[in-house]
Structure 1
Amino acid sequence: MPKTAHKVVVIGHRNPDTDSICSAIAYAELKNKTSSLVCEARRAGRMNQETEFVLKRFGVAPPRMCTDVNPKIRDVDYREMPGIPGSTSLRKAWEIMRDQQIDTLPITSADNELEGIITVKDIATANMDVFDTGVLATSRTTYKNILETLGGTMVVGNENAVCTTGHIRIGTATPEMLENNVEKGDIVILTNRYESQLCAIEKEASLLIICNGAKVGRTIQRIAEETGVAIMTAPCDTYAAGKLMSQCAPISYYMTRDDIMKFTLVTPVADVTRVMAKVRHRYFPILDEDGKYCGMVSRRNIIALRKRRIILVDHNEATQAVEGFDQAEILEIIDHHRIGSLETSGPVYFRNQPVGCTATIITQMYDENGVEIRPQIAGLLLAAILSDTLVFRSPTCTPVDVSAAHRLAKIAGVEIDAFASEMFEAGEKLDGKTPEEVFLQDFKVFMCGDVRFGVAQGSYMTRKNLKAAQQLLAPYLPEACGKQNVEDLYMLLTDVPKEESVVICTGRHAGEMLRSGFEKEPEEDGSWVLPGVISRKKQFIPALMSAYQEL
């Protein structure tokens, strides 16, 4: 039974900054208003303090975390069939398999705990074991199962009673032979022969099954009630009844209880595929987040997998995209950075403009679609532009960014300079922060040829806070280099009012690249002061790329 499709995930890059988060929120709202898609903004990493301040300032809930869009079992149209109780007869289980065209059934408890599974092979094996005449007692089969399997009627006794002793006997012989074969507690299959019925009762059988729909005399009923012998009638003959008796046993007796191969809703499809290649079963049970049974999955379901659908904002580099993006269906990319290494399996809507912020592009798209920008959304878009353009100081800033910011400020009801000061002050606080938390507030990985390098950036309104960040981060960079699996690592500490950056770095080529790219020498403390360099995208990365290409 197909499930409703997952929402389209609108998501920014790993270690998201304010533009990445705010643009995702704003664009998800725009898509929900202008298309048939159901979109949800998500984030690919932890938010920094600046972004937390912005969302709180405008009363917007943070997007949910999404660090991996690799397909999971929950993305598969698995079979949402209910489990069956362990008391179900083999016959009934087989009928369910036949009607639903499935060869494996889940056995569940009353509260939906998975207790086991039974396959058509298990049922076939049970039917082949014709010499186990004590199976009903051993498996504690209920009279109700026998009645259901034989299509019978209870004449004497309680249908909820359970077989606990004895063997199955076919009583078509003479009463004399019955007397020698029937033992106390046996289940005896009989015809309408009065003498044989009476003999079975005298031998203290536990249950008589009278075949061919024959009526049971009142005298036999009375004697059976007095002696505690149950009686039921069945429309079939003794041969058919004998054949069906083993199918009355509950499936709990034959089911697989231990080492059940099962998956959860968050099991990666890649892991499921590997398991299915090694196991002969065709259907496997699935458990939900609470460990409860919720469905069955087969190879056919995996083949018909629906990929997650995503829209990327504020990035188009494979190294910056959420894990598993290459296994998802990318619908759109909205960005203002250089065109990077990300590839798609088919054509997508790709909007890339040379402006200072992705939020500026999204503001344009609201206007193009004639959608009014709510004050909350205007506040988010404004914060993103001010953050990315360093309040219009960055060389990436364009007149389009400035114009959009002033219009958004009016809608949001804020004064640009005062709001920007609050926002940057919130973002540069180091109280209680670990070096890793500060470093990852705005970190991106880049590739140039075979060289993988990382660049982090922090913006500061006071030199005092900049120096404090430098002292905190400098000892941590070598460790970060290893954690991020990059050859070289750079940390830009940008002095916004002074419009320059202090760079600290580590790695095999880092110092040489800074010399080549900026024709500078390091300071006495090992840092590099780059006057006028405040944009990672437009000033720092292009110079580094040129240096690495020469390398």
Structure 2
Amino acid sequence: MPKTTHKVVVIGHKNPDTDSICSAIAYAELKNKTSNLVYEACRAGELNQETAFVLDKFDVRPPRMVTDINPKVRDVDYREVPGFSGNTSLRRAWQVMRDQKIDTLPIVDSDRELLGLITVKDIATANMDIFDRTVLAKSHTTYHNILETLDGTMLVGNENAVVDRGRILLGAANPETMESLMEPGDIVLLSNRYESQLCAIEMHASLIIVCQGAKVGKTIVKLADENDVAIMSVPMDTYAAAKLISQCAPISYYMTTKDIKKFTLVTPVDDVTRVMAKVRHRYFPILDEDGKYCGMLSRRNIINLRKPRVILVDHNEAMQAVEGYDKAEILEIIDHHRIGSIETSGPVYFRNQPVGCTATIVSQMYDEQNVEITPKTAGILLAAILSDTLVFRSPTCTPQDKKAAERLAKTAGVDVESFSEEMFEAGEKLDGKTTEEVFLQDFKVFMCGDIRFGVAQGNYMTDSNLRAAQALLTPYLPEALQKQSLEDLYVLLTDVPEEASTVLCAGHHAADMLTAAFGVKPEKDGTTVLAGVVSRKKQFIPKIMGAYQEL
């Protein structure tokens, strides 16, 4: 539906980790408490098991998944033009078009299924076809339409009846002429002449329309009723009634039903623009997620499109951002990584601090805004810090992270050591996971010049789970390399207690880059063990980037 308030999407990177998800949730909550806009936390990929465990433990609903924020029809202020019944008269349709300044109306059934469209051109064409005297019968016009269009009153008959036969005739000056012109079932427009009215009844007209508001005698009413002839009284003269009567026909008779260009709420605006460039229609119907009609879209609506607004958390690399970010208005970036490749069309609020976790920054912002952190929010922020800093073992961890974690643990009512063990155990389980799911649970893509490479990481508390992940992922690397369109690929299997990482690699330069960056040669099984390396951000990426730059 058209938006009075467009939500601002708060979202982390693709293949989100716990920090990416939890920081988005917490920051959206903070913004909703301190701003007049409406903010929604979203995720750019599936939850990994660790994050799912955290959200479940603190009873926090997972954010909606959004993998593409390219503008869709639902982001456009389209017109909520109501759907019209196919029985609506041409006259009534034209009045609506005039009053609403629109040249196309949708025709729907009682269940909002789109049946067709009627345009001003269709109505103009119908009005020019003045010689079709059987149009009311062919279109099965209701008496109600005739009464509404001619502002009439039903004297004899049922206004819900339908015209199913006869021609439209303008009553002659005398009965003799009428007898030669009329056929049974005709619709006759008459004045107040008693003889003409009586003749029309005797000739078995289906409907007599008495013009100029003339009174109809009791005898005529009685005879009409006995002979099953309907009578209407209308205030206008016979000339005006004759001009308007063809406009009583239902719009379903003239509507367009074939090759209707329509869109759904999730149709990308780029696709809409391409269609509009090839079609001369001004308005296009929109269908909702159930395939039901919900509004009309015009070129003007597209021109006036408001870009989706987004806040990026825990990343500022174009390769890691949700699809369509470059078509959106980026309002803020909250991150703790190196300055990456995202460009903005204007100035934005960019907060980047050298701490171990985005959640630490978010918790600071709660304090700065004097907003109390709830136990649930404290719990998920704590989980993000423990995950990103490997329970303070990572070299990225700072005193600020530790201080924030201690305070959050107290608010959430949890013990850091026992909770972190639970969380990592839930995250490293491989049961029920596909190889691709294990690979993508924390995977990021980077660029160095023209070289595109990816780095995945998994953190393990036990050596058995680490070896199981290694056995699972090693044969998958060539496939992953191709699927992700990479030149090189690295997988860090981090032994948290031992503070070391086993690196799997594949690609054109990967093995040479590892040797150049860390001065170690691969083991016999092709893996490289990096003692003391646990942080992808601070220990692995800077050195591997340096090696690529030398290359």
Q: TM-score, normalised by structure 2?
A: 0.98
SS in 1 for 2:92: helix
Structure 1 residue ranges (4+ consecutive) displaced by more than 4 angstroms after TM superposition: none
Aligned counterpart, 2:131? 131
Aligned counterpart, 1:394? 394
- Structure 2 CA distance for partners of 1:40 and 1:2, relative to 1, 3 Å: closer
Q: For residues 264 and 501 of structure 1, what CA distance do their matches in structure 2 show?
A: 48
Aligned counterpart, 2:31? 31
Shift of 1:160: 1.4
Aligned counterpart, 1:47? 47
% identity of equivalent residues: 75
Unpaired runs of 5+ residues, structure 2, are none
Letter in 2 for 1:460: Y
| Contact 1:106 1:116 (8 Å CA) reproduced | yes
Aligned counterpart, 2:81? 81
SS in 2 for 1:319: helix
Deviations 1:348-378 (A, max 9, x none): 1000011111111111111111222222222
Deviations 1:516-546 (A, max 9, x none): 1112211100111111111101111111111
Letter in 1 for 2:315: H
Shift of 1:3: 2.7
Aligned counterpart, 1:317? 317
| Contact 1:172 1:191 (8 Å CA) reproduced | no
Q: For residues 516 and 238 of structure 1, what CA distance do their matches in structure 2 show?
A: 98
Aligned counterpart, 1:200? 200
Deviations 1:316-356 (A, max 9, x none): 01111111111111111100000101111111100001111
Aligned counterpart, 1:102? 102
Letter in 1 for 2:340: G
Q: For residues 54 and 3 of structure 1, what CA distance do their matches in structure 2 show?
A: 33
Letter in 2 for 1:531: A
Shift of 1:259: 2.7
Letter in 2 for 1:62: P
SS in 1 for 2:530: strand
Aligned counterpart, 2:119? 119
Shift of 1:110: 2.0
5 Å matches for 1:182-331? Answer: 182-331=182-331
Aligned counterpart, 1:468? 468
Q: For residues 221 and 61 of structure 2, what CA distance do their matches in structure 1 show?
A: 73
Q: For residues 2 and 287 of structure 2, what CA distance do their matches in structure 1 show?
A: 17
CA RMSD of aligned residues (A): 1.4
5 Å matches for 1:364-379? Answer: 364-379=364-379
Q: TM-score, normalised by structure 1?
A: 0.98
Letter in 2 for 1:481: L
Aligned counterpart, 2:65? 65
Aligned counterpart, 1:492? 492
| Contact 1:108 1:116 (8 Å CA) reproduced | yes
Q: For residues 23 and 497 of structure 2, what CA distance do their matches in structure 1 show?
A: 26
Q: For residues 380 and 96 of structure 2, what CA distance do their matches in structure 1 show?
A: 55
SS in 2 for 1:10: strand
Shift of 1:120: 0.5
Does residue 424 of the first structure (1) align with residue 427 of the second (2)? Answer: no
Letter in 2 for 1:409: A
Letter in 2 for 1:425: E
Deviations 1:180-220 (A, max 9, x none): 11001011111222222222222111111122222222222
Letter in 1 for 2:74: R
Deviations 1:32-61 (A, max 9, x none): 222222222111111111111111222222
Mean Cα deviation higher: 170-179 or 311-320? 170-179
| Contact 2:5 2:37 (8 Å CA) reproduced | no
Q: For residues 449 and 522 of structure 1, what CA distance do their matches in structure 2 show?
A: 26
Shift of 1:2: 5.2
Q: For residues 408 and 189 of structure 2, what CA distance do their matches in structure 1 show?
A: 87
Unpaired runs of 5+ residues, structure 1, are none
Letter in 2 for 1:343: E
Mean Cα deviation higher: 368-377 or 384-393? 368-377
Deviations 1:136-177 (A, max 9, x none): 001111111111111122222221111111111111343222
Letter in 2 for 1:541: I
Aligned residue pairs total 551
| Contact 1:146 1:245 (8 Å CA) reproduced | yes
SS in 1 for 2:441: helix
Q: For residues 423 and 179 of structure 2, what CA distance do their matches in structure 1 show?
A: 97
| Contact 2:2 2:75 (8 Å CA) reproduced | no
Deviations 1:477-525 (A, max 9, x none): 1111111111111100011111111111111111121121112211100
Shift of 1:20: 0.6
Aligned counterpart, 1:168? 168
Q: For residues 2 and 286 of structure 2, what CA distance do their matches in structure 1 show?
A: 15
Mean Cα deviation higher: 480-489 or 211-220? 211-220
SS in 1 for 2:165: coil
Aligned counterpart, 1:148? 148
Q: For residues 404 and 123 of structure 1, what CA distance do their matches in structure 2 show?
A: 69
Q: For residues 34 and 169 of structure 1, what CA distance do their matches in structure 2 show?
A: 71
Deviations 1:393-447 (A, max 9, x none): 1111112112222222222222222222221111111112111010011000101
SS in 2 for 1:155: strand
Aligned counterpart, 1:481? 481
Shift of 1:289: 1.7
SS in 1 for 2:312: strand
